[in-house]
Amino acid sequence: MRNNPPLIFLSLSLLTLLSACAGMQPARGPDTTQSLTIAAPISTTERLSTSPSFTAEEQDLPTVDLNGELLYQILAAEIALQRQYFTAGTNEYIRLAERTRDPRFAERATQVALLTYENDAALRASRLWVELAPDRSEPRQMAAVAAIRAGELEEAFGHMEVLLSGADAVSEERFERMAGLLSREHDVQEAFRLMQRFVETRRDDPGALYAYAHLAVRAGEMEKARQAIDAALDLRPGWHDAMALRIRILLLTDGPDAAIAYLSDAVRDYPKDASLRLAYARTLAEMRHYQEALDQYGLLAKQVVPNTDVLLSMA
């Protein structure tokens, strides 16, 4: 059989069609509410397309001979996963990646191992995925998670440094994405300590402080969260997202009255910010300060167009 990388996509897509109804629960882990559908791995649906159109990234994939032995290994891996033999299936995909040097197999192994909390396999697979696709960000994100779970914090820190060292490394979106990724970990204290170490050298970056504050709230480190978000607002006054997090911290620590006082000052300082005024009105209503809430909704009705939702809230 001639070398033809798209045939691997075809074989995996056929497996997807054959097993589309095979939804399963992870064998273990703190979050067993999220089903594991082996037929449709996270973030791989488009790459398993049988379409002849490929991205530049996919055109760089190795040429693999889809012979009978390789197809047998793919089938064996998928059947093992469907039977919930997650370790066997993951290891088979790792062997496929090592044999073919195709990052798609390492990706599959990493995703399944992370979802099923096969931590050793996840670390091994993610390391291989990074090796096979060093210019992509997703392998390093998953490798950071796998390293945290395995207690390899130095390795996780290294992946984070690489992820945020590019030209747009100071972008808020990247910091938030990293904090969100870490906050989903069952060992949130380890994730928090890692983020704390990362932010120590970025105290002048409001995006880093904002992301750190989010993770601090998740870890229950409320005073550190307050200090971080205050520092972020000092560096970037009037930042709406940071102010919203400040309000959340106040609600969790000092109660609604403190949040109302903060919101009152905020809408005075930023009278054109409709989102802040809406948060103020809702908080007043929840605290049964109805007349004050109506006053704020009345101002919003003049400020927001169309104002149907505002009028409904007033009613």
* pLDDT confidence of residue 58: 53
CA-based radius of gyration for the chain: 24
Q: Is 196 or 110 the better-scoring residue by pLDDT?
A: 110
Distance (Å, whole) CA 14 – CA 78: 11
Q: 10 Å Cβ neighbour count for 1?
A: 10
Cβ atoms < 10 Å from Cβ of 301: 16
Q: How confident is the model at residue 13 (pLDDT cuts 50, 70, 90)?
A: very low
pLDDT at 23 over 60: no
Of the chain, the percentage scoring pLDDT greater than 70 comes to 77
pLDDT at 48: 29
| Tokens encoding 151 | 């207690």
Question: What is the rounded CA–CA span in Å between residue 156 and residue 182?
Answer: 10
**Mean of all residue pLDDT scores within the chain:** 77
Decide which of 29 and 242 is more confident. 242
Sign of CA dihedral 232, 237, 242, 246: positive
The answer to whether residue 139 scores a pLDDT higher than 70 is yes
Confidence of residue 60 (pLDDT cuts 50, 70, 90): confident
**Which of 61-75, 179-193, 234-248 comes out lowest in average pLDDT?**
179-193
The region, left, alpha or beta by phi > 0 then psi within -120 to 50, assigned to residue 149 is: alpha
Q: pTM for this one?
A: 0.60
142-176 per-position pLDDT tens digit: 998 899 888 888 898 888 888 877 544 445 667 77
Question: Closest Cα partner for 73 from 52, 96, 91?
Answer: 96
Residue 21 or residue 237, greater confidence: 237
pLDDT of 38 above 80:
no
pLDDT in tens, 115-128: 999 999 999 999 99
Average pLDDT over residues 212-218: 89
Asked if the model's pLDDT at residue 191 lies above 90, the reply is: no
Strands (E) across the chain are located at 23-24, 36-37
End-to-end CA distance of the chain: 71
pLDDT tens digits, one per residue of 218-260: 889 999 999 999 999 999 998 888 888 999 999 999 988 898 8
- CA–CA dist 170, 166 (Å, integer): 8
Reply yes or no on whether the pLDDT at 83 is more than 60. yes
| 10-14, 79-83, 104-108, 139-143, range with the lowest pLDDT | 10-14
d(CA 131, CA 147): 15
Query: Which of 117, 92, 112, 145 shows the shortest CA–CA distance to 27?
Result: 117
Q: Quick one: tokens of 226?
A: 């307050």
Residues 115 and 26 sit within 8 Å (Cβ to Cβ): yes
Helices (H), 21-136: 56-59, 68-82, 86-100, 103-115, 119-132
CA distances from 257 to 73, 150, 245, 247, 295 (A): 62, 43, 16, 11, 18
